[in-house]
Structure 1
Amino acid sequence: MPPRLRPTRKRKRRLSSDPVLDRLTRLHPKLIDLSLDRVEALLDRLGRPHERLPPVVHVAGTNGKGSVIAFLRAILETAGYRVHAYISPHLVRFNERIRVAGRLIDDDRLTALLEECEAVNAGAPVTFFEITTAAAMLAFARTPADVTLLETGLGGRLDATNLVPRPLLSVITPISMDHMQYLGDTLEQIAAEKAGIMKAGVPCLTAAQGRKVARVLERRAAALGTPLVKEGADWFVLGRGEGVLFCEGDRSLALPRPGLPGKHQVHNAGLAVACARRMAGFSIPEAAIAAGLGAVEWPARLQRLTKGSLPALLPEGWELWLDGGHNPGAGRVLAEHFRHWRDRPLHLVFGMLTTKDPIGYLKPLAPAVTRLRAVAIPGEANSLAAEQAAGAASSVAIAAAAAPSVEAAIRQLVEADARPGRILICGSLYLAGTVLRDNA
């Protein structure tokens, strides 16, 4: 029998925007340096495009920001509206961050916008996120649309997106511990930074929060005169059989299950529905809300992988899933979902950045996990070494070992258990992006 040939990996095509994106990373010595002065000066020189956007829904929080935007975009587009959307980070291509009137920005246009911002900036210190946010604002100001969905990059108060003077709505998703080196060491400090997106007189819709966070949000709203619309007080959402019940005052909507799996996505969908019902000047039929919840697409959020080189490694009866959650709050959400995954052994392929809390993430998962293989995230200087990630798992009583790659990890997990199992690749959006790219 001839030896099995190793398949050649497709070379990643270099896009025309790559050289300018590379240059923009070198305009500031730090990747993150929270401030509004630099980006405000750049936007001034660009003609203040952030003041000429279609009505803005501005979303901050720790977990669920991207999912809420994905649900709301699906609802709005189903209702016939043209939607700009700005999210971060991307998974495979930078273009994923900027969606102009419903379409991902094409590479030629992205390159032209980035080069224009680079020329106007004239070498002044500015972070990568700040200058690329300015490029997105420029794209949105120049293209007609009905609404703009903006996701904060980090925090809120000093985030580059927070220069929009008066959004239509502000939205705050669940807040938990993350990015402590930038936002503070306590929930109250982190919540205060997120609450910085509130504006006087602009309704702010918030997911259900813990008591400490809720107090911070309520104090900030009262000080500004911001109407605060809270899950659990002003609206509710409940999973019910194969559907979802959204309740608000004396009205209720019977809706289909969201197209993204997990109980947490029921609440993210509910927050999007609450927003859709409060968008002044928009007419969004209940049928569009229902259809949008089912049509939503958002990769690397409990996404099942069924095609590609990685699922091909699995014997019959095995499943492969991918999730980009990367903080303790995300770990708790996954742990709750695992209650529905008791039909077969659960194994993890785990990688995480050094700036995150691996023990806080893994601890709630430990009771459900049979074994774990830890990997370093390819191409990420701030990745935990596979041995470090495995050590974190072992410290919370998960049977763990290091593996040289995701492919090797999957092979090891399959070989270690004769029973059909379920494998979840998790711990980092950067790892998820690498998996999606290499599995394509």
Structure 2
Amino acid sequence: MTRDYQASLGMVDNWPVVFMAASSEFLSAVRDLNLLQTNAEVLAKCKQPGVNFQLAALESLRVHLKRVGHEVQDLNQLNAIHIAGTKGKGSTSIFCEAVLQRLPVKAIPATRSQELTVGVYTSPHLVEVRERIRLNGRPISRTLFSRYFYECWDRAIVPYQDATKGTYQPGDLLRPGYFQFLTLLAYHVFLSERVDVAVLEVGMGGRFDATNLVPKPTVCGITSLGLDHQAVLGNTLREIAYQKAGIAKARVPLLTVTQPPDATDAIVQAANEAATTVTCPPSFTRYTNADQIHVGIAGTHQRSNAELAVALVLTWLRQSPLKTRLPELSEPLIQLPDFVLQGVAAARWPGRSQTVVTTNPTITWHLDGAHTTESIDACITWFLQHAKLNEPTVLLFNCSRGRQGSDMLAQLAQALLLRRVPIVAAVFCPNITQRLDGQNHTVTKHQQLAEPQSNAVAWQALYNKASRSCTTHVCLSIDRAVAWIQALGNPALTPTQVLVTGSLHLVGGVLDIVQGSPFISDAVNNGTKSIM
């Protein structure tokens, strides 16, 4: 089946959108996927007293999985590594992927190819939605995405177009939302492509997340925890940790990095309830070849993510039939095998502690998605270590509604003022991009602009209080923000570097503009791009 869709410069909700040179079927799939973005009015209908909408959505996903052609028990064939947490989930997933891809040939059964087939599911995407579903280190192609998308869409969505209309009644079948459908799609892709292992990153929480449909993963992991999504997960770290630890399964190893005491207590409680145990991954310093360990993703905070990933992969291997082919993994492990060292060093994750240099004008872009106060701390540490602190700098910032924007800006201002970084301008914009799969239909344009305007006022107040001058500017889109920065013509204000942080969607939008797709497969930036 072919869906026709305009592949040119067009309009979506009265905003200009560049439809890149891609198959009309892929663009049609993205358009249809965007229909599943749930607006506030629909969510309000579902938040009825006595109704656990998250549980209802998860139970409905079981039905949709069957409609697509899979039983829930089939998901055990994925031999999953399931990862929850507040920050570092995506990086940990990519470290796992990189190590698994470098297993020595001797470990692969003769009946297989020369490498494991590794599937990875992460969120959000930076540029194109297909980045969320990876096979062997690359986002699935547009062709593969489109084919599997409509196999799921025609079976799970089309028959239930009106499933969310009216008042929800217990037992009603809910139509999958945006993230739930993408998770369903990932399951379908991985089962259809017969992956040997699937690394699944939780979207939000854990206990009721769509990725938690897998009955028995091989191993589970929890990255660093902090306050996030309080409206859904709870107001305290203990409540949030308990939700995250909901991925625990009976007799499935559960690993976690060192957590605050309240979080640790909640994780242990959830593990006990699930009839499993909790362990912490060993530090790299315990291995005799610790001096040979080089972490491929920048930032000192990535070391703990890499340590967790290595422990998850080693646990996975010891739970698999491959362990008999890898005697070097026998306990106690004195030194890390070469394939582990190679994988940790080779891991790359665009938009996280990333530096890009552009010309005309020459600007160094420091990009790091940071959506919590803890992540901002890590971003600040990385930036201060790698930036030229005496050169004119612009801050480009946005955060999603409901995040701790004012707190994050206060952290940034305090650190930058303390180190006397010459911030010549601070630019704020919504996550509005010209890309079709960067459109957000859950809020109006007015609502999207409210947050940047509020952030600009907060930033100006911080600098006024410190008796420091800083130009503050609000733009209508990411494209306009980048254009404004590039057009700063006053020699006294011309920046040589830009710190882009906050929302990952912002980071992805900037990356797309200044360098094109950060991913190799099916290059994203193969059409005309214009600045609004």
**Aligned pair partner of 2:140 in 99, 105, 115:** 105
Matched, 1:288 2:310: no
Deviates more, 1:25-34 or 1:400-409: 25-34
On the 8 A contact 2:219/2:252 being kept in 1, the answer is: yes
Aligned to 1:178: 228
In 1, distance between residues paired with 2:22 and 2:67? 30
Aligned to 2:455: 389
Instruction: Give deviations 1:211-247, integer Å, cap 9, x for gaps.
Output: 211111112112322121125xxx224xxxxxxx3x2
Regions of 4+ moved over 3 Å: 24-33, 251-255, 282-285, 379-386, 394-400, 411-422
Aligned to 2:348: 297
Instruction: Give deviations 1:315-347, integer Å, cap 9, x for gaps.
Output: 4xx522111212212112112324424742454
Aligned to 1:240: none
Judging changes above 3 Å, is the alpha-carbon distance between structure 1 residues 304 and 127 closer, same or farther for their aligned structure 2 residues? same
Equivalence map 1:100-139=2 (5 Å): 100-121=135-156, 122-123=159-160, 124=163, 125-139=175-189
Aligned to 1:267: 304
Aligned to 1:375: 429
In 2, distance between residues paired with 1:103 and 1:236? 29
In 1, distance between residues paired with 2:471 and 2:401? 18
Judging changes above 3 Å, is the alpha-carbon distance between structure 1 residues 131 and 415 closer, same or farther for their aligned structure 2 residues? same
Judging changes above 3 Å, is the alpha-carbon distance between structure 1 residues 301 and 391 closer, same or farther for their aligned structure 2 residues? same
Deviates more, 1:375-384 or 1:187-196: 375-384
Please tell me the residue identity of whatever aligns with 1:205. L
On the 8 A contact 1:273/1:289 being kept in 2, the answer is: yes
Aligned to 2:191: 141
Instruction: Give deviations 1:258-309, integer Å, cap 9, x for gaps.
Output: 1111111111111111112212224477101111111111100011112xxx
In 2, distance between residues paired with 1:414 and 1:287? 51
Aligned residues: 413
Please tell me the residue identity of whatever aligns with 2:296. G
Instruction: Give deviations 1:100-128, integer Å, cap 9, x for gaps.
Output: 34442222222222212222221242212
Aligned to 1:241: none
**Unmatched runs of 5 consecutive residues or more in structure 1:** 1-8, 238-244
Judging changes above 3 Å, is the alpha-carbon distance between structure 1 residues 384 and 172 closer, same or farther for their aligned structure 2 residues? farther
Shift of 1:49: 5.2
Matched, 1:354 2:404: no
In 1, distance between residues paired with 2:33 and 2:18? 27
Deviates more, 1:350-359 or 1:404-413: 404-413
Shift of 1:352: 2.0
Aligned to 2:380: 335
Instruction: Give deviations 1:47-93, integer Å, cap 9, x for gaps.
Output: 33553333100011111111001111011101143201111111111
**Unmatched runs of 5 consecutive residues or more in structure 2:** 1-16, 44-52, 104-114, 164-174, 330-335, 417-421, 434-439, 517-532
Please tell me the residue identity of whatever aligns with 2:308. L
**Aligned pair partner of 2:472 in 401, 425, 439:** 401
Query: Looking at both structures, which has the greater relative contact order when contacts are Cα pairs under 8 Å and sequence separation is at least 6?
Result: 2
Shift of 1:195: 0.8
Equivalence map 1:206-221=2 (5 Å): 206-221=256-271
**Aligned pair partner of 2:499 in 421, 424, 432:** 424
Deviates more, 1:328-337 or 1:367-376: 367-376
Shift of 1:411: 3.8
Matched, 1:159 2:209: yes
Aligned to 2:95: 71
On the 8 A contact 2:92/2:308 being kept in 1, the answer is: yes
In 2, distance between residues paired with 1:36 and 1:120? 17
What is the identity percentage for the equivalent residue pairs of Structure 1 and Structure 2?
29
Aligned to 1:6: none
Shift of 1:406: 2.5
Instruction: Give deviations 1:376-408, integer Å, cap 9, x for gaps.
Output: 332454535443221232344484511433324
On the 8 A contact 1:373/1:413 being kept in 2, the answer is: no
TM, length-normalised to structure 1: 0.85
**Aligned pair partner of 1:95 in 115, 118, 130:** 130
On the 8 A contact 2:101/2:136 being kept in 1, the answer is: no
On the 8 A contact 2:84/2:244 being kept in 1, the answer is: yes
In 1, distance between residues paired with 2:506 and 2:37? 25
Judging changes above 3 Å, is the alpha-carbon distance between structure 1 residues 413 and 27 closer, same or farther for their aligned structure 2 residues? closer
Please tell me the residue identity of whatever aligns with 1:383. Q
In 1, distance between residues paired with 2:82 and 2:291? 27
On the 8 A contact 1:101/1:144 being kept in 2, the answer is: no
Please tell me the residue identity of whatever aligns with 1:391. V
On the 8 A contact 1:352/1:384 being kept in 2, the answer is: no
Please tell me the residue identity of whatever aligns with 1:256. I
In 1, distance between residues paired with 2:262 and 2:492? 44
Judging changes above 3 Å, is the alpha-carbon distance between structure 1 residues 54 and 128 closer, same or farther for their aligned structure 2 residues? same
What is the aligned-residue RMSD (CA, Å)?
2.7
In 2, distance between residues paired with 1:419 and 1:25? 38
SS in 2 for 1:323: strand
Deviates more, 1:297-306 or 1:394-403: 394-403
Aligned to 1:60: 84
On the 8 A contact 2:254/2:278 being kept in 1, the answer is: yes
Matched, 1:277 2:322: no
Shift of 1:45: 2.1
SS in 2 for 1:332: helix
Larger Rg: 2
On the 8 A contact 1:359/1:396 being kept in 2, the answer is: no
Please tell me the residue identity of whatever aligns with 2:373. P
Please tell me the residue identity of whatever aligns with 1:140. F
In 2, distance between residues paired with 1:24 and 1:256? 41
Aligned to 2:370: 325
In 1, distance between residues paired with 2:461 and 2:344? 39
